[in-house]
Amino acid sequence: MSSNRVYIFDTTLRDGEQVPGCKLNTEEKLMIANQLDTLGVDVIEAGFPVSSPGDFKSVEAIAKLVKNATVCGLTRAVENDIKVAAEALIYAKRPRIHTGIGTSESHMKYKFKATPDQIIERAVAAVKYAKSFVEDVEFYAEDAGRTDNEFLARVCEAAIKAGATILNIPDTTGYCLPEEYGAKIKYLKENVTGIHNAILSCHCHNDLGLATANSISGVMNGARQIECTINGIGERAGNTSLEEVTMILKQHPYLDLNTNINSKMLTGISQLVSETMGMPVQPNKAIVGANAFSHSSGIHQDGVIKHRETYEIMDPKDVGAANSSIVLTARSGRAALAYRAKNVGYELTKLELDIIYSDFLNFADKNKVVTDTDIHQIMKTSTVSK
């Protein structure tokens, strides 16, 4: 496999589903897992099997269903978690156990009341135990974003020696700056013995709105897996958004980093996840928001009507969205009005456009947007038609 390939690890059904109100039943999870598999993700994190009988059942059903992607179950560094995850994954073609432990000062001190050496011991034991069930073991160093790099390198080295082949470096609290997160990945690449046989993975949270930037910085510094969710859903402010990172890599080919994602499915799967989870997508959301390809100011509309690329850096069709739209508001200019009027059957001369435009502005100042029906109404009442 090319070293320029970035693996996409989707955690919509695990980290994403942790969001209050987003809980799904097994049937809904199967529907999303099937779409994720067709989308081309490399790994589907199906759940946290020990957390509830329902989650166990969903992970097991997803493991039976999925044909292409690796199916992964999350565990703590606890024997029973690992054993239960292995049972849930028994039917998977490509099973992965994702186990780990907190490594930052605050996690070691407050959560585990353990010394750094004890944390390493528990990490090693968990990886070895997971390895007794499956070949593919991913280790996460929770709160790696706030973990001292030297200690993090020691933990990673021990996890690799114990058999982990993927090392997840989560910015669990979404604290890092892109430069800092990238430097952390670079440090690990340069200082962990055995890292060349393993893959570093980015798992970034969005507490400061930096999840996507941090993940991109991670892969630019040597990570080769990104953990992300559809629509960026996840704990608190969410995770890295799958549609954002995959389109960033696609739209910047000079980075020479590729994924297996069929971008034309992005809008459809975003709507499926939003509707199934009852979690609306903000209109200004990059790539999949309702306004991602709609233009409303006169200057922009004039440019887009002349050539789409003046104000669009990607083709809406590439992400499965409908065409770009020209939205008529009180900020729209004559070019946009002429364009939309023509679409509904009015070919206006320059003089007619001048007259209609002033009627249009009077109407638009009193309304949020001007629809096709409104255009017909404005035409009917305008002096142009008299």
The DSSP line for 81-93 is HHHHHHHHTTT-S
140 binds ligand KIV (CB under 6 A): yes
Pick the closer one to ligand KIV by CB: 140 or 360. Answer: 140
Pick the closer one to Zn ion by CB: 70 or 206. Answer: 206
Could you tell me the smallest distance in angstroms from the CB atom of residue 141 to ligand KIV? 8
Give the one entry of Zn ion, ligand KIV, none that residue 289 binds, where binding means its C-beta sits below a cut-off of 5 to 8 angstroms depending on kind. Answer: none
Of 47, 95, 170, 232, which one interacts with ligand KIV (CB under 6 A)? 170
Give the one entry of ligand KIV, Zn ion, none that residue 168 binds, where binding means its C-beta sits below a cut-off of 5 to 8 angstroms depending on kind. Answer: ligand KIV
289 binds ligand KIV (CB under 6 A): no
Residue 228 DSSP symbol: E
Pick the closer one to ligand KIV by CB: 206 or 263. Answer: 206
Two tokens, residue 370: 């001007």
Pick the closer one to Zn ion by CB: 16 or 316. Answer: 16
Q: Give bridge partners of residue 72 from the DSSP assignment.
A: 45, 96
**Burial profile 124-145: b = 16 or more Cβ within 10 angstroms, e = fewer:** bbbbbbbbebbebbbbbbbbbb
Pick the closer one to Zn ion by CB: 12 or 263. Answer: 12
Of 147, 165, 172, 206, which one interacts with ligand KIV (CB under 6 A)? 172
Q: Considering only residues 253-312, where is the footprint of Zn ion by CB under 5 A? A: none
Using DSSP, state whether 363 is helix, strand or coil: helix
Give the one entry of ligand KIV, Zn ion, none that residue 142 binds, where binding means its C-beta sits below a cut-off of 5 to 8 angstroms depending on kind. Answer: ligand KIV
Terminal CA-to-CA distance of the chain, rounded, Å?
70
Q: Which residues lie below 8 Å from residue 295, measured CB to CB, with a gap of 6+? A: 301, 304, 311, 324, 325, 326, 327, 336
55 binds Zn ion (CB under 5 A): no
Could you tell me the smallest distance in angstroms from the CB atom of residue 334 to ligand KIV? 51
* Binding window for ligand KIV (CB under 6 A); candidates: 54-62, 168-176, 258-266, 339-347: 168-176
Give CA–CA dist 191/178, Å, rounded.
Answer: 20
Contact 91, 63 (CB under 8 A): yes
Give the one entry of Zn ion, ligand KIV, none that residue 218 binds, where binding means its C-beta sits below a cut-off of 5 to 8 angstroms depending on kind. Answer: none
Give the one entry of ligand KIV, Zn ion, none that residue 101 binds, where binding means its C-beta sits below a cut-off of 5 to 8 angstroms depending on kind. Answer: none
Give CA–CA dist 328/370, Å, rounded.
Answer: 5
Two tokens, residue 377: 């109404």
Contact 201, 227 (CB under 8 A): yes
Pick the closer one to Zn ion by CB: 217 or 240. Answer: 240
Give CA–CA dist 302/308, Å, rounded.
Answer: 10
142 binds Zn ion (CB under 5 A): no
* CA-CA-CA-CA torsion sign (197, 198, 199, 202): negative
Q: Strand (E) positions, the chain?
A: 7-10, 43-47, 70-74, 95-102, 136-142, 166-171, 199-204, 225-228, 294-295, 325-326
Question: What is the contact mask toward ligand KIV in residues 53 to 92, using x (rule: CB under 6 A)?
Answer: ---------------------x------------------
Residue 53 DSSP symbol: H
Question: What is the contact mask toward Zn ion in residues 7 to 46, using x (rule: CB under 5 A)?
Answer: --------x-------------------------------
Contact 147, 179 (CB under 8 A): no
# of chain residues touching ligand KIV (CB under 6 A): 9
* Binding window for ligand KIV (CB under 6 A); candidates: 56-64, 167-175, 179-187, 293-301: 167-175
Q: Considering only residues 1-30, where is the footprint of ligand KIV by CB under 6 A? A: 15
Matching residue, tokens 């980093």: 257
Q: Considering only residues 193-212, where is the footprint of ligand KIV by CB under 6 A? A: 203, 205
Could you tell me the smallest distance in angstroms from the CB atom of residue 295 to Zn ion? 35
* CA-CA-CA-CA torsion sign (232, 234, 238, 239): negative
* H/E stretch holding 190: helix 178-191
Residue ranges in contact with Zn ion by CB under 5 A: 15
Residue ranges in contact with ligand KIV by CB under 6 A: 15, 74, 140, 142, 168, 170, 172, 203, 205
